[in-house]
Structure 1
Amino acid sequence: MAFEGLAERLQSTIKKITGKGKVSEQDIKEMSREIRLALLEADVNFKVVKDLINRIKERAVGQEVMESLTPGQQVIKIVRDELTELMGGENSKIAVADRPPTIIMMVGLQGAGKTTTTGKLANLLRKNYNRKPMLVACDVYRPAAIKQLETLGSQLDMPVFSLGTEANPVDIAKQAIEKAKEDHHDYVIIDTAGRLHVDTELMTELGEIKKIANPDEIFLVVDAMTGQDAVNVAESFNDQLDISGVVLTKLDGDTRGGAALSIKAVTDKPIKFAGMGEKLDQLEPFHPERMASRILGMGDVLSLIEKAQTNVDEKQAKALEEKMRSMSFTFDDFLEQMDQVKQMGPLDELLGMLPGAGKMKGLKNAQIDEKQLAQVEAIAKSMTKKERQEPGIINASRKKRIAKGSGTTVSQVNRLLKQFDEMKKMMKQMTNMQKGKKGKGGGFKLPFM
């Protein structure tokens, strides 16, 4: 996860102060010093760090802490509040034009993931907001960029407006908007050209496109892994184009976090979205308060719930629960549940959203073996329909066939069958216990549901 090193340092620092019945000014001073070092190591802008630490110290030695019954907890709340404010305070909503289409310009340097992010944003607008976007290929200097956008459009089954590499980008934008109006598209997302570095020629062209398109949003796409360089790029683009927001890509990677914690303070423009993986559905609205909570080890339950609501079919979940209650849960149901959980994202990422998961024995630094999960899935899929419905019929010869078909061993097949049987027994016990609690109801829920 992004911020991993910073998160560990900050959590270790505030842990020292959490359980204290009384907090002295010296405690606050030592904590502030360690937080400052952690932020500087994470490549956060020096001036941003200085201002943040001053605000934390000022509030932490005030009456709200010194007179509190739980001063340690109050200090943590202050740190979380200030980190949240530093990243923008609250989620910044995407614009909606009074008269459609809403026009979004995507700008940024080469290599930041601008074209892919254009596709991801279109997918998110359709999936989460029920919108009808059109993509526009205005990067005429790189034929590969046009081809890439057309491929993304094909994958998403969305129209891509292109006039090839010979047309003027300003003309392309103008004609695209007219076409979008004719075809009743409510969003137009313009993928503009990038450069390896900010230069006058690029900014002049982007300025002309801005003038003709009159965009409702100008999103700067920056690579979170470039750290402080991302902040410098953001400052340059903002000075010349007056961007409306930032999209941080690769926030799921091994990034120190400096960009996310500095951009809002330096440009006064919010981070609107975060790329959390390479897949087209891995772009998320950026929530400063949730990110601050995750950095401080408090989890991000709201995002976890949203993932479940988006990817888990409620009717299917209830049906599976009933099957577990009645002991009729089969390997087909198991595969169905596994597929729904996988759609929510990598399991280690989901675990990271649970409060205190990083401190739980066995979970800290745990690497969820996705290969092992794929192995389990392969075993189940190598069974016949009847075997998945009635695992009890699986004898020695069937086990050999299943092992061969799934590229596993008979002992691995045996282990899965045993675990499946134990799980059903456990569910039966839980159901019986639930029946014994009159009037409680509610039952158990499947993992992540």
Structure 2
Amino acid sequence: MNEAIPLRLLADVTEALKAGRSWEGSLQRLAELLVERLADWCVIDLLDEQGGARRVVVAQKHSGLTMGESSRLLPPWPPDSAAPLAQALRRGTAVLIPAVPAPEQATDPLERAQWELLARLGADTAIAAPLAVGGHPIGVIIVARAEGSRPFTEAQVPLIESMAHQGALVVDNARLYDQQHEIAAYLQRSLLPDSLPAVPPLRLVARYTPALTHAEVGGDWYDAIVLADGTVAFTVGDVVGHDVRATARMSQLRHMLRALLLDRPGPPDDALRRLDQALENLHEPTTTATLILGVAHPPTSAAPSLTWANAGHPPPLLIPAHGEPRFLTGGHGVPIGVDIGVPQEAAARTSHNGGSMFLLYTDGLIERRGEDLSTGMERLRRAAARLHRLAPDRLLDELVERVAPAGDDDVALLALCHAAGSLG
């Protein structure tokens, strides 16, 4: 086995661990590199919150992951266990196993399990190195060489220790990222309405999916309220930015719009003009948002209708009970917070028909890098045409699953439906 590769191996491992994989994928790639360049086998075990250990990777030079060994919960061990994992954790440094003993020499369940594994792998020598961050152990990496390969010696111990240190940083950063992403998603969801009003036969259905590619919260939102005259005002919007500031501004805009609608119900274009003016008066020059505000009159009213105003947002999609889905134009204006002097078009209007759906969404549903937005819109329209017979809840779930990119951006959807279908 070529021993003149440590520097190249270190460089390759560093690049592989920076490649943006999940922590599982990063550890798998680390194990693959070690068995390609330095060892015949590589085993990686991680500690759980209860102090136990679970095997997450077993890689072999010629056959990759060994089925039946990964995701295995390891036996407990006493403080003085001679098992390679226990030795590495206890000492806090890499440990050379110059000769793998027979399993019969083991004195505890973990030691026996580890000697049995190494014997089954045909290992002759091994090195166990702790995965630790800031002095806190999170697991152990074990590399082994089989009989017939050049035995491991103390000369390889510092290199394996360095590999383990880099692997530990990847796992620790990934776990921290997961925690931050979970908190961010919880914060975002907590600022959205707990429930949506129902004015039979009208029904509102919504979905929110946070982005998977960053830990920051975003500015996508949906909302709906019933006004004093019985009309239903509903909106979907997107504040520019992906950080806590964008989320705070989203919450501010959502509640300002609610207050304006409750104070003085009227056409949605008028409400958007007043919202823009309120931001101007509050000196919020850096708040920019796109949104659609719709107002639906109950079908029992004298003149049942749906009106909407669009402040720079992707157009609503009408999914009729019969016929092809189509995007609705009209009611256009510039995004909120851009230029209060630019006039907003009068609200657009359509009449109610049972059995169809009026869908609002944020651009995270249709936007993909390097692709024209019209391509994403057409993808949404075709998916809606295929799925239009599904129940509203299922339809929205399927649209998110089939149309949205792979978690590149937040996605918010809000559909105004009829109890027997929807409107159109």
**TM-score normalised over the length of structure 2:** 0.27
Structure with more of its chain in strand, by fraction: 2
Which of structures 1 and 2 has the larger relative contact order (alpha carbons within 8 angstroms, sep 6+)? 1
Greater radius of gyration (CA): 2
Structure with more of its chain in helix, by fraction: 1
